[in-house]
Structures are given as structure tokens and as C-alpha cells.
């Protein structure tokens, strides 16, 4: 899942980016309204966290102008403005939630996950295939009930593949959803990530595998459908 954080305070922006990435999100972070509009015109995000007090324009203007490029991306307003009128205006403009500063990082994360669930309908808390299971909120994976030790990016990949199963995850979607825009991604990096996850699943005794669809991408398969493994 990929988020866009729009916050002009440098330290807070870095703190939000670090925390959300640690919690399993890919995060782009910008400081101005113009940067936010440009980012949303060029990329697809699963959610937007938007500060209202930006240096070049009011956050409400950003919310209004990015309506056409947000493609129904849920938005959480993050601001020190606590007046009821401001909250109502933000919600009427299309925001999905409103978080007042100062705030707790855990609460913000919970609100992000809540708007993501609402935006995606019956988004599952638990994804499973064969003897493999993944808890989307805790980022905890198990094989036959035994914990599977995954790095952050490996967990992100596993969630993406389970979420779209039995469809193929194309390589371009991996780049878009697993990496922030500031990160340079090579084909070798994606292949190495796939190989690490594939090896860990095999070593843990998972009865699912990662199938390579040549020239397209990858998909999760059960043993009876296993083809093209490296």
C-alpha cells in the first residue's frame, strides 16, 4: 500500500514517513501543495495524509484541486485547526477523516487503515492461501500457525500477492505499490525480493509457491498449479 504525506514541517514529515514505512507502507512525502498535486498527477496512491497549513497554498485548495487526479483516493486531513467549521469544511470538500495535532502515531496509523478498509469495501483483515496466512493489520505471517520471519518489503510483497490471488501481479504494479518514488528500483532488485520470499516460503514448508509468468510478472500458486518456478 502506498501513501502520500503532505506536511511542510520537516521533522514531522520525516517522523511520519519513517513510522508509516516501518508499519509496512511505501510512503512518498512532500512539503508543498504544488508538490502534492504533481505527485498525484503522476502516481497512484492508496491514501493521502494532508496538512492544511502549507507554505504555498491552503490544504483545502489542494484537496479541491486534486479531486480529479485522486481517483477516489481516501484523504485524512492533518491539522492544528480545531474549529468545528474547519472540520466540517474539510469533510465536505471530500476528506475521509480529520486528525488534530498533536496526535499519537499509533492513532494516525489506525485511522489510515480504517479509511483504507472503507475505501476498499470488505478488505480482509486476514489473507490466507493453503497453509499460509497473513494478518494485514499486525503484518504477521504464519505457515501452519508458525511465525514466518519476513522483512518489511517481503511482507508488503506477500500481502500484495495474496490480495490479488489468483491474478498475476505485474512487475510495474510491484514498483508502484512496494517502493516510494524516491527509491530507484531495478529489475534485479525485484527479482531478488521475489527470490528471498520464495526461499522463505519453501523453507517454512508453505504449500504455496511463487510462479513466474515470463515477461509479465508473478503469481501465487498452489502445488497442483505450480509452473515456471526458478
Domain residue ranges of the chain, discontinuous segments joined by +: 2-119, 126-225
Q: What is the pLDDT of residue 230?
A: 43
Q: What is the pLDDT of residue 71?
A: 58
**Of the candidates 86, 28, 38, which has an alpha carbon nearest to the alpha carbon of residue 59?**
86
Q: Phi and psi at residue 28, in whole multiples of 5°?
A: -100, 140
On whether the CB atoms of residues 10 and 51 are closer than 8 A, the answer is no
Per-residue pLDDT of the chain (230 residues; tens, 9 = 90+): 899 999 999 999 999 999 999 888 999 999 999 999 999 888 889 899 999 889 999 888 888 887 655 457 889 998 876 656 666 666 667 788 888 888 999 999 999 988 888 876 545 678 999 999 999 878 899 999 999 999 989 999 999 899 888 888 888 878 877 888 877 777 788 899 999 999 999 999 999 999 998 888 899 998 654 444 44
Q: Which three cell numbers stand for residue 85?
A: 467549521
Fold of 126-225: Arc Repressor Mutant, subunit A (1.10.10)
How far is Cα 52 from Cα 47, in angstroms, rounded to an integer?
16
How far is Cα 205 from Cα 78, in angstroms, rounded to an integer?
44
How far is Cα 155 from Cα 181, in angstroms, rounded to an integer?
19
How far is Cα 105 from Cα 8, in angstroms, rounded to an integer?
17
How far is Cα 230 from Cα 227, in angstroms, rounded to an integer?
9
CB atoms under 10 Å from CB of 24, counted, come to 18
Domain 2-119 matches domain 126-225 at the CATH topology level: no
Q: What is the pLDDT of residue 225?
A: 46
How far is Cα 193 from Cα 23, in angstroms, rounded to an integer?
18
What are the residue ranges of helices labelled H in the chain? 10-22, 33-42, 59-65, 84-93, 105-119, 152-164, 171-178, 187-203
Q: What is the pLDDT of residue 184?
A: 75
Q: What is the pLDDT of residue 227?
A: 44
Q: What is the pLDDT of residue 117?
A: 80
Peptide bond into 193 cis (omega under 30): no
Fold of 2-119: Rossmann fold (3.40.50)
**Of the candidates 203, 221, 208, 211, which has an alpha carbon nearest to the alpha carbon of residue 150?**
203
Amino acid at each position: 500500500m502506498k501513501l502520500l504525506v503532505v506536511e511542510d514541517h520537516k521533522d514531522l514529515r520525516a517522523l511520519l514517513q519513517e513510522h508509516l514505512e516501518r508499519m509496512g507502507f511505501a510512503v512518498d512525502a512532500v512539503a508543498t501543495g504544488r508538490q502534492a498535486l504533481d505527485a498525484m498527477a503522476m502516481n497512484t496512491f492508496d491514501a493521502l495524509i494532508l496538512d492544511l497549513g502549507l507554505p504555498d497554498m491552503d490544504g483545502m485548495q489542494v484537496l479541491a484541486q486534486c479531486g480529479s487526479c485522486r481517483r477516489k483516493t481516501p484523504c485524512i486531513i492533518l491539522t492544528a485547526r480545531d474549529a468545528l467549521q474547519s472540520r466540517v469544511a474539510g469533510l465536505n470538500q471530500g476528506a475521509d477523516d480529520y486528525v488534530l495535532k498533536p496526535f499519537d502515531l499509533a492513532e494516525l496509523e489506525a485511522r489510515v487503515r480504517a479509511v483504507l478498509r472503507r475505501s476498499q469495501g470488505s478488505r480482509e483483515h486476514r489473507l490466507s492461501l493453503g497453509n499460509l496466512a497473513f494478518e494485514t493489520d499486525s503484518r504477521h505471517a504464519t505457515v501452519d500457525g508458525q511465525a514466518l520471519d519476513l522483512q518489511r518489503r517481503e511482507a508488503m510483497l506477500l500481502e500484495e500477492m495474496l490480495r490479488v490471488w489468483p491474478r498475476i501481479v505485474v512487475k510495474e504494479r510491484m514498483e508502484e505499490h512496494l517502493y516510494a518514488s524516491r527509491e530507484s528500483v531495478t529489475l534485479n532488485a525485484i527479482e531478488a525480493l521475489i527470490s528471498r520470499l520464495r526461499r522463505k516460503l519453501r523453507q517454512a514448508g508453505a504449500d504455496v509457491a511463487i510462479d513466474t509468468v515470463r515477461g509479465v510478472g508473478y503469481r501465487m500458486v498452489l502445488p497442483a498449479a505450480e509452473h515456471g518456478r526458478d
